[in-house]
Each structure stands twice: as C-alpha cells, then as structure tokens.
Structure 1
C-alpha cells in the first residue's frame, strides 16, 4: 500500500495571530521572542524557559521582553497559541478540501499528525508539557485547551462519516484517536527506537480508525 500523502504536509513551527490594535512595528521582535522560547523548550526543557534566558536567547533586553509579555505565563500562553494555530490552519485546509470524501480528509489529518510526531520539535515539545502538566495547573489548562482545539476537525469529520453518532460520541472517538496517535511519540517519534516503523504504524492507525468509525453504532457507546 503506497502512502498517498508522503511528504505532503509541513507544519510551520509558529503562526502568529493578529492582536487587537496590531503590532506591525514590533512583530519581528514578538516572533523573535517566541521562537527563542520555543527553541529553549525543545533543546533544554521547560525549566530553561525563564524570562531572563528567553531575553538573552532572543537578543532582546529583559525590559523590552516584558513589554510584549509581562509574565512568563503570558509568554507560555502566546507560545502555545502560536504552535496550535499552525496546526489549525493545516487542519482547516484539509477539512474544507473540495471533491474528496470525509474519509480521505480524515486520513490526511491522521497522516499529518503522525508524520509531525517524527519531527524533533513535536517529539520534544509536547512530552515536556505533558510532564509539567502533572504539577502545574496553568500548563494543564493550556494543554487541555490546545488538544480540544486540535480535536475539533476530527469531530467534524467523524460526524460527517457516521451521522448516526451523537456529538458526544464523536467527541469521545476523536479523544480516543488523539490519545492513540500522541501515545506513539515516545516509541516512534524523533530518534525513538521504532521511528523506522512509522510508515507501518500510519497504515495500521488509519485502517483501524476508519473501520471503527464506519462500523460504530450509537449503541456501542451508550
């Protein structure tokens, strides 16, 4: 079975959202700070993301950094928003593709997620946040919000594939799908022991999910 989607998807690291009032003049500095924070988190872990270290890594004075991000929480919130926005744009483009089936579009989303797991950014970034969310309520809230936004396109397509399912049932299946795919990060992510098996895992994942959604009845999830 040939992978029809190989190398089709490239998710940018960050997508900045326009803010009220605009920030055209300082947009480059704003992005520079966020990229420095992302690089620190990927290479050295969340504990390295202090305001002083981000300022030094971005080449911005601490006072200037706090003009854009008054607190570390503000910085982390905007960083996560910029990261998930990059996925939302890709997911939205897939969901609204014309002349293709809902099954094909859901397959595309799954391949995008699984291939992205193989990148250094994703393999390092998300597990770091998962671990931190066990002890930090702020990060826990942000990560739950992030994944809820990421699951939304899957919920839409599951409902389109199997209209008999309720909204809550579609959400539950999307949650199962997300958890199943994200769980592969530690085994088949960047430089992980089974990274070479990701093409097989993609095929197993897609077939399993599509068979599940098509065959599921409302009575299966009372």
Structure 2
C-alpha cells in the first residue's frame, strides 16, 4: 500500500534508484529519454486506474493505450504484453513504498527507532483505509491466486516489504538474529495487511472497533521489542 511522494528528476530519493523509471521491458542498456519517461508515467497512471477499477480482466492493451492517448503500437514499444504492464504496476507500487520508507528513515533525527516504526505503521494503516488502495490489493491478491507469473511478482514485492520493515524492527531491537527478524517483519506485515478485511471499500473501521489502530500500533511495537 503506497502513498505517493516526490522524487527528483533522476528518479532518486536518498540515493535509491526508482526502478519504475528504468526501461520497462528490462533492457537496462536502453535508458529512457525524458519524453519516454513521461510516456511511461502516463501509461502507468492509466494502467493503475484501470486495474484498480476493473481488475486484470479489464486491463487490456487497447484500453490502456486509449486511456493514455497512445496508439497500441506505441504502448507495445514500452510494454509488449499485459504481463509486462502488471509487473510495472507492482514495480511502481514498490517504488512508492521505497520512497516512503526512506522518507521516514531520514526524517526528524530526534525520533527514536520505536517512534519511526510507529510512524511507518500508522502511515501504512492510513493508506490501507483508502478504497483505491483496497481495490488495487484485492486485485493483486486475486490474480496471484490464479496466475503463476503474478504470484512470483507478488512474492518478490512482499519480500521487499518485509525487508524494509525489518530495517525498522532491527533499529528497535538490534539483538534479534536474522531468522527471528525475518519472522517478526512477516508478522507485522500480516497484521497491517489483515486490517484490510475489516473495511472493504470503506475509509474507517466500524464503530465497535474504535481504537483498533492504536491497539495495532501497541501490538506491533511489542512484537518488535520482544527478546
């Protein structure tokens, strides 16, 4: 669940390269021109909106091309197949996560590691309350259940997320061995993602669950600090 943030023109944030702005088809030898980067951004914006609204079934190449104001052949120059488009959507979401993780890691120096982790958790919970985010991830999960290529892409995306959350947990509890750290990060990821099932297409939790966000933060901080 990603919240948009700004980057410089090179696509970097705190030294990390934005993978979504590399050659979409994986040809790392071909660097996109400014015009190409703008075109890719327009394609991705259209593809994400269509995928969120209609799922993978609605994500046709012709529909994306029309929405982005391109000829089909121009779209296929950047994304030859629908699978390439889906991979790029995930890459874009991962890049948004990366920027937000970096922003928090390099935010107010007066924050303690526990406060940074809390800030991250609250950001992710708040993002999960957005209907558009819910639509995206429900469609991600559904496709991963049906298609092997999507399952692998999602596994890689969640591995990235667990590693990033693991950085925050390690700062809180630096004595944790790597295998325990990996499990803690996975538990925290599952806790945050699991809250989505309580608010399908709603932007707040039911009234009988008032205070659940604060409880989730307390539990997650306790899990991170456990010996």
| Same fold, judged at TM 0.5 (above) | yes
**For 1:157 and 1:13, how far apart are their aligned partners in 2?**
20
TM-score (norm 1): 0.85
The answer as to whether partners of 1:159 and 1:170 remain within 8 angstroms in 2 is: yes
- The alpha-carbon distance between structure 1 residues 25 and 193, as it changes in their structure 2 partners (threshold 3 A), is closer
SS at match of 1:94: helix
**57-66 or 107-116, larger mean C-alpha shift:** 57-66
SS at match of 1:25: helix
SS at match of 2:111: coil
- The alpha-carbon distance between structure 1 residues 51 and 198, as it changes in their structure 2 partners (threshold 3 A), is farther
1:206 to 198, 201, 217: 217
**For 2:114 and 2:204, how far apart are their aligned partners in 1?**
30
Residue of structure 2 in register with 1:73 after alignment: 83
**For 2:207 and 2:119, how far apart are their aligned partners in 1?**
20
Residue of structure 2 in register with 1:7 after alignment: none
In structure 1, the gaps of 5 or more residues are: 1-9, 218-222
Kindly provide the CA deviation profile for residues 141-180 of structure 1, in whole angstroms up to 9, marking residues without a partner as x.
Answer: 1111111112222211212211221111111011011111
**For 2:223 and 2:106, how far apart are their aligned partners in 1?**
23
Alignment pair present for 1:48 and 2:46: no
How far did residue 196 of structure 1 move?
Answer: 5.8
**For 1:54 and 1:107, how far apart are their aligned partners in 2?**
38
2:146 to 128, 135, 152: 135
Residue of structure 1 in register with 2:44 after alignment: 34
1:28-177 equivalence runs, <5 A: 28-97=38-107, 98-177=109-188
Residue of structure 2 in register with 1:17 after alignment: 21
The answer as to whether partners of 2:5 and 2:99 remain within 8 angstroms in 1 is: no
- The alpha-carbon distance between structure 1 residues 198 and 64, as it changes in their structure 2 partners (threshold 3 A), is farther
Q: Alignment length, in residue pairs? A: 207
**For 2:175 and 2:219, how far apart are their aligned partners in 1?**
19
In structure 2, the gaps of 5 or more residues are: 7-17
How far did residue 88 of structure 1 move?
Answer: 0.9
**For 2:163 and 2:114, how far apart are their aligned partners in 1?**
16
**For 1:35 and 1:123, how far apart are their aligned partners in 2?**
17
**For 2:82 and 2:66, how far apart are their aligned partners in 1?**
15
**92-101 or 176-185, larger mean C-alpha shift:** 92-101
How far did residue 70 of structure 1 move?
Answer: 1.1
SS at match of 2:4: coil
